[in-house]
Amino acid sequence: MSATVVTITNQKGGVGKTTTAAALLASLSNRGARVLGVDLDPQGSLGFSLGLDIEHCKTVYDVFRGEVSTEEAISTTDTCDILASNILLSAAEIEFNKPGREFLLKTALSKVKDRYDFIIIDTPPALNILTVNAYVATDSLIIPMSPEVLSLLGVSQIKETIESVRNYYNSGLTVLGILLNRFSPRLRLNREVMELAEQIASQLGTVVFQSKIRSSVSAAEAPAHGLSVIDYAPRSNPAADFESLCSEIAGDKFPIDTDSKEV
Protein backbone atom coordinates (compact mmCIF):
# COMPACT_ATOMS: atom_id res chain seq x y z
CA MET A 1 0.00 0.00 0.00
CA SER A 2 1.46 3.35 -1.02
CA ALA A 3 1.93 6.31 1.28
CA THR A 4 -0.62 8.95 2.15
CA VAL A 5 0.90 12.24 0.95
CA VAL A 6 0.15 15.44 2.89
CA THR A 7 1.44 18.89 1.95
CA ILE A 8 1.86 21.78 4.39
CA THR A 9 1.21 24.99 2.50
CA ASN A 10 0.68 28.73 2.79
CA GLN A 11 2.18 31.35 0.49
CA LYS A 12 2.79 33.60 3.49
CA GLY A 13 6.00 33.00 5.42
CA GLY A 14 6.28 32.74 9.18
CA VAL A 15 3.05 30.84 9.76
CA GLY A 16 4.65 27.64 11.06
CA LYS A 17 4.79 25.40 7.99
CA THR A 18 8.15 23.83 8.79
CA THR A 19 7.39 23.53 12.52
CA THR A 20 4.17 21.73 11.61
CA ALA A 21 5.84 19.42 9.09
CA ALA A 22 8.62 18.49 11.53
CA ALA A 23 6.17 17.88 14.38
CA LEU A 24 3.93 15.64 12.28
CA LEU A 25 6.92 13.65 11.05
CA ALA A 26 8.15 13.16 14.62
CA SER A 27 4.74 12.27 16.01
CA LEU A 28 3.98 9.79 13.24
CA SER A 29 7.44 8.24 13.54
CA ASN A 30 7.04 7.88 17.32
CA ARG A 31 3.76 6.08 16.70
CA GLY A 32 5.45 3.50 14.50
CA ALA A 33 4.63 4.92 11.07
CA ARG A 34 7.16 4.82 8.25
CA VAL A 35 7.53 8.46 7.24
CA LEU A 36 9.38 10.55 4.68
CA GLY A 37 9.76 14.31 4.87
CA VAL A 38 10.15 16.22 1.60
CA ASP A 39 11.53 19.76 1.66
CA LEU A 40 10.54 21.89 -1.35
CA ASP A 41 11.66 25.15 0.26
CA PRO A 42 15.06 26.33 -1.06
CA GLN A 43 15.81 27.61 2.44
CA GLY A 44 16.15 23.97 3.48
CA SER A 45 14.55 24.56 6.85
CA LEU A 46 12.92 21.15 7.27
CA GLY A 47 16.14 19.18 6.86
CA PHE A 48 18.04 21.64 9.05
CA SER A 49 15.33 21.52 11.72
CA LEU A 50 15.71 17.75 11.94
CA GLY A 51 19.50 17.82 12.25
CA LEU A 52 20.56 17.30 8.65
CA ASP A 53 23.63 18.94 7.08
CA ILE A 54 21.77 20.21 4.04
CA GLU A 55 24.89 21.59 2.32
CA HIS A 56 26.57 18.19 2.19
CA CYS A 57 23.88 15.77 1.13
CA LYS A 58 21.96 14.88 -2.00
CA THR A 59 18.77 16.90 -2.46
CA VAL A 60 15.49 17.00 -4.33
CA TYR A 61 17.20 19.39 -6.76
CA ASP A 62 19.64 16.62 -7.73
CA VAL A 63 16.67 14.31 -8.31
CA PHE A 64 14.86 16.84 -10.50
CA ARG A 65 18.03 17.28 -12.58
CA GLY A 66 18.25 13.53 -13.06
CA GLU A 67 21.67 13.32 -11.40
CA VAL A 68 20.62 10.81 -8.71
CA SER A 69 17.66 8.56 -8.08
CA THR A 70 15.08 9.36 -5.44
CA GLU A 71 16.38 6.47 -3.33
CA GLU A 72 19.95 7.81 -3.50
CA ALA A 73 18.86 11.31 -2.44
CA ILE A 74 17.00 10.27 0.70
CA SER A 75 18.89 10.98 3.92
CA THR A 76 18.14 9.43 7.30
CA THR A 77 17.86 11.41 10.54
CA ASP A 78 17.05 10.33 14.09
CA THR A 79 13.47 11.35 13.39
CA CYS A 80 12.75 10.05 9.90
CA ASP A 81 13.89 9.86 6.29
CA ILE A 82 14.27 13.21 4.52
CA LEU A 83 14.42 14.28 0.89
CA ALA A 84 16.19 17.54 1.59
CA SER A 85 16.68 20.81 -0.26
CA ASN A 86 19.04 23.77 -0.19
CA ILE A 87 19.47 27.11 -1.92
CA LEU A 88 20.22 25.49 -5.30
CA LEU A 89 16.53 24.64 -5.58
CA SER A 90 15.78 28.36 -5.96
CA ALA A 91 16.74 27.98 -9.64
CA ALA A 92 13.79 25.66 -10.26
CA GLU A 93 11.44 28.27 -11.72
CA ILE A 94 13.91 29.13 -14.48
CA GLU A 95 15.74 25.83 -14.93
CA PHE A 96 12.83 23.43 -15.09
CA ASN A 97 10.83 24.91 -17.95
CA LYS A 98 9.99 21.91 -20.11
CA PRO A 99 6.47 20.51 -20.61
CA GLY A 100 5.52 18.23 -17.76
CA ARG A 101 7.59 20.08 -15.18
CA GLU A 102 4.56 20.08 -12.87
CA PHE A 103 5.02 16.31 -12.43
CA LEU A 104 8.69 16.26 -11.38
CA LEU A 105 7.93 15.55 -7.71
CA LYS A 106 5.10 13.11 -8.37
CA THR A 107 7.39 11.10 -10.65
CA ALA A 108 10.19 11.16 -8.08
CA LEU A 109 7.96 10.03 -5.21
CA SER A 110 6.33 7.26 -7.27
CA LYS A 111 9.62 5.35 -6.93
CA VAL A 112 9.42 5.22 -3.12
CA LYS A 113 5.77 5.66 -2.11
CA ASP A 114 5.31 1.99 -1.29
CA ARG A 115 8.08 2.19 1.34
CA TYR A 116 6.22 4.66 3.56
CA ASP A 117 2.94 5.12 5.39
CA PHE A 118 3.07 8.93 5.21
CA ILE A 119 4.97 11.47 3.14
CA ILE A 120 4.89 15.02 4.51
CA ILE A 121 5.85 17.83 2.11
CA ASP A 122 7.03 21.26 3.29
CA THR A 123 6.59 24.03 0.73
CA PRO A 124 8.10 27.48 0.09
CA PRO A 125 6.22 30.67 1.04
CA ALA A 126 5.16 31.25 -2.57
CA LEU A 127 2.76 29.92 -5.18
CA ASN A 128 5.40 28.89 -7.73
CA ILE A 129 6.34 25.78 -9.71
CA LEU A 130 7.64 24.10 -6.55
CA THR A 131 4.32 24.59 -4.77
CA VAL A 132 2.43 23.36 -7.83
CA ASN A 133 4.65 20.25 -7.86
CA ALA A 134 3.66 19.60 -4.26
CA TYR A 135 -0.05 20.04 -5.04
CA VAL A 136 0.18 17.68 -8.03
CA ALA A 137 1.98 14.99 -5.99
CA THR A 138 -0.15 15.18 -2.85
CA ASP A 139 -3.39 13.67 -1.64
CA SER A 140 -4.31 16.53 0.66
CA LEU A 141 -3.26 19.90 2.06
CA ILE A 142 -2.90 21.32 5.54
CA ILE A 143 -2.92 25.13 5.61
CA PRO A 144 -1.27 26.57 8.72
CA MET A 145 -1.83 30.21 9.55
CA SER A 146 -1.03 32.57 12.36
CA PRO A 147 -3.84 34.59 13.98
CA GLU A 148 -3.28 37.67 11.83
CA VAL A 149 -5.37 39.29 9.12
CA LEU A 150 -2.47 39.18 6.62
CA SER A 151 -2.15 35.46 7.21
CA LEU A 152 -5.83 35.09 6.31
CA LEU A 153 -5.18 36.91 3.03
CA GLY A 154 -2.55 34.32 2.14
CA VAL A 155 -4.99 31.50 2.80
CA SER A 156 -7.71 32.99 0.61
CA GLN A 157 -5.29 33.41 -2.30
CA ILE A 158 -4.44 29.70 -2.26
CA LYS A 159 -7.95 28.85 -3.44
CA GLU A 160 -7.29 29.79 -7.07
CA THR A 161 -4.15 27.63 -7.22
CA ILE A 162 -5.96 24.67 -5.69
CA GLU A 163 -8.76 24.94 -8.25
CA SER A 164 -6.29 25.17 -11.15
CA VAL A 165 -4.40 22.09 -9.99
CA ARG A 166 -7.67 20.20 -9.57
CA ASN A 167 -8.76 21.14 -13.08
CA TYR A 168 -5.52 20.30 -14.87
CA TYR A 169 -3.33 17.95 -12.83
CA ASN A 170 -4.83 16.39 -9.70
CA SER A 171 -8.61 16.13 -9.57
CA GLY A 172 -8.48 14.33 -6.21
CA LEU A 173 -6.71 17.13 -4.33
CA THR A 174 -8.42 17.88 -1.02
CA VAL A 175 -7.84 20.25 1.90
CA LEU A 176 -7.67 18.45 5.23
CA GLY A 177 -8.05 21.66 7.19
CA ILE A 178 -6.77 25.06 8.28
CA LEU A 179 -4.43 24.96 11.27
CA LEU A 180 -4.19 27.90 13.66
CA ASN A 181 -0.64 28.34 14.96
CA ARG A 182 0.52 30.52 17.85
CA PHE A 183 -3.08 30.60 19.02
CA SER A 184 -4.34 32.08 22.27
CA PRO A 185 -8.10 31.83 22.88
CA ARG A 186 -7.84 34.63 25.48
CA LEU A 187 -6.94 37.23 22.84
CA ARG A 188 -9.85 38.91 21.08
CA LEU A 189 -8.01 39.16 17.75
CA ASN A 190 -7.30 35.42 17.82
CA ARG A 191 -10.99 34.67 18.32
CA GLU A 192 -11.96 37.04 15.50
CA VAL A 193 -9.41 35.51 13.14
CA MET A 194 -10.71 32.04 13.98
CA GLU A 195 -14.20 33.11 12.89
CA LEU A 196 -12.79 34.43 9.60
CA ALA A 197 -10.74 31.27 9.16
CA GLU A 198 -13.90 29.21 9.50
CA GLN A 199 -15.51 31.24 6.72
CA ILE A 200 -12.52 30.66 4.44
CA ALA A 201 -12.48 26.97 5.35
CA SER A 202 -16.10 26.75 4.27
CA GLN A 203 -15.18 28.29 0.91
CA LEU A 204 -12.43 25.69 0.50
CA GLY A 205 -14.77 22.86 1.43
CA THR A 206 -12.87 22.07 4.58
CA VAL A 207 -12.71 22.86 8.32
CA VAL A 208 -10.54 24.57 10.89
CA PHE A 209 -8.78 21.81 12.85
CA GLN A 210 -10.04 21.32 16.39
CA SER A 211 -6.39 21.29 17.48
CA LYS A 212 -4.95 24.78 17.85
CA ILE A 213 -1.21 25.18 18.39
CA ARG A 214 -0.26 27.31 21.38
CA SER A 215 2.91 29.41 21.56
CA SER A 216 6.00 28.35 23.46
CA VAL A 217 9.68 29.29 23.55
CA SER A 218 10.49 25.61 23.10
CA ALA A 219 8.97 25.60 19.61
CA ALA A 220 11.39 28.34 18.56
CA GLU A 221 14.36 26.65 20.24
CA ALA A 222 13.82 23.15 18.84
CA PRO A 223 15.25 23.64 15.29
CA ALA A 224 18.59 24.81 16.66
CA HIS A 225 18.89 21.42 18.37
CA GLY A 226 18.00 19.50 15.21
CA LEU A 227 14.76 18.26 16.71
CA SER A 228 11.05 18.82 16.33
CA VAL A 229 9.24 20.33 19.31
CA ILE A 230 7.69 16.87 19.86
CA ASP A 231 11.08 15.39 20.71
CA TYR A 232 12.78 18.52 22.09
CA ALA A 233 10.08 19.46 24.59
CA PRO A 234 7.53 16.63 24.80
CA ARG A 235 5.78 18.16 27.82
CA SER A 236 5.34 21.59 26.23
CA ASN A 237 1.99 22.98 25.11
CA PRO A 238 2.88 22.93 21.39
CA ALA A 239 3.99 19.28 21.63
CA ALA A 240 0.67 18.31 23.18
CA ASP A 241 -1.20 20.31 20.55
CA PHE A 242 0.71 18.75 17.65
CA GLU A 243 0.10 15.28 19.09
CA SER A 244 -3.59 16.15 19.10
CA LEU A 245 -3.36 17.31 15.48
CA CYS A 246 -1.61 14.09 14.50
CA SER A 247 -4.43 12.14 16.13
CA GLU A 248 -6.96 14.12 14.09
CA ILE A 249 -5.09 13.22 10.90
CA ALA A 250 -3.98 9.64 11.53
CA GLY A 251 -5.25 8.60 14.94
CA ASP A 252 -7.30 5.61 13.78
CA LYS A 253 -4.40 4.10 11.86
CA PHE A 254 -1.58 5.23 14.15
CA PRO A 255 -2.89 6.00 17.65
CA ILE A 256 -0.51 7.60 20.13
CA ASP A 257 1.57 5.11 22.08
CA THR A 258 0.81 6.17 25.64
CA ASP A 259 3.29 3.63 27.03
CA SER A 260 6.15 5.47 25.35
CA LYS A 261 5.22 8.88 26.74
CA GLU A 262 6.99 10.26 29.78
CA VAL A 263 4.95 10.38 32.96
Residue 81 lies in a domain: yes
Nearest to 1 by CA among 23, 24, 33, 27: 33
Q: Residue 83: beta bridge partners? A: 38, 74
Q: Considering the domain boundaries, does residue 219 fall inside one?
A: yes
The H or E element that residue 247 is part of is helix 237-250
206, 200 Cβ separation under 8 angstroms: no
> Does residue 150 form part of some domain?
yes
The secondary element (H helix, E strand) that includes residue 241 is helix 237-250
Helices 149-168, 129-137: crossing angle, 10 deg rounding: 60
CA distances from 47 to 9, 21, 197, 207, 227 (A): 17, 11, 30, 29, 10
Strands 118-122 and 140-145: unpaired
Q: Does some domain include residue 255?
A: no
The DSSP letter of residue 208 is: B
Q: Is the dihedral of CA 141, 120, 10, 104 positive or negative?
A: negative
User: What range does the domain containing 129 cover?
Assistant: 4-247
**Structural domain tally of the chain?**
1
CATH number at residue 229: 3.40.50.300
CB-CB neighbours of 257 under 10 Å:
10
217-243 residues labelled b (16+ CB within 10 A) or e (exposed): ebbeebbeebbbbbbbbbebebbbbbb
User: Does 17 reside within a domain?
Assistant: yes
Task: Kindly state whether residue 261 falls inside one of the protein's structural domains.
Answer: no
Order the strands of the 174-180 sheet from edge to edge. Answer: 74-76, 81-83, 35-39, 118-122, 4-8, 140-145, 174-180
Q: Does 260 reside within a domain?
A: no
φ, ψ for residue 163, nearest 5 deg = -65, -40
Does any domain span residue 145? Answer: yes
Please report, in tens digits, the pLDDT of each residue of the chain (263 residues total).
789 999 999 988 888 899 999 999 999 999 999 999 999 999 999 999 999 999 999 999 999 999 999 999 999 999 999 999 999 999 988 898 888 999 999 999 999 999 999 999 999 998 899 999 999 999 999 999 877 766 667 676 788 889 999 999 999 999 999 999 887 767 777 777 778 888 888 888 999 999 999 888 888 899 889 999 999 999 999 999 999 999 999 877 788 765 544 43
Which parts of 147-263 are beta strand (E)?
Answer: 174-180
pTM, to two decimals:
0.92
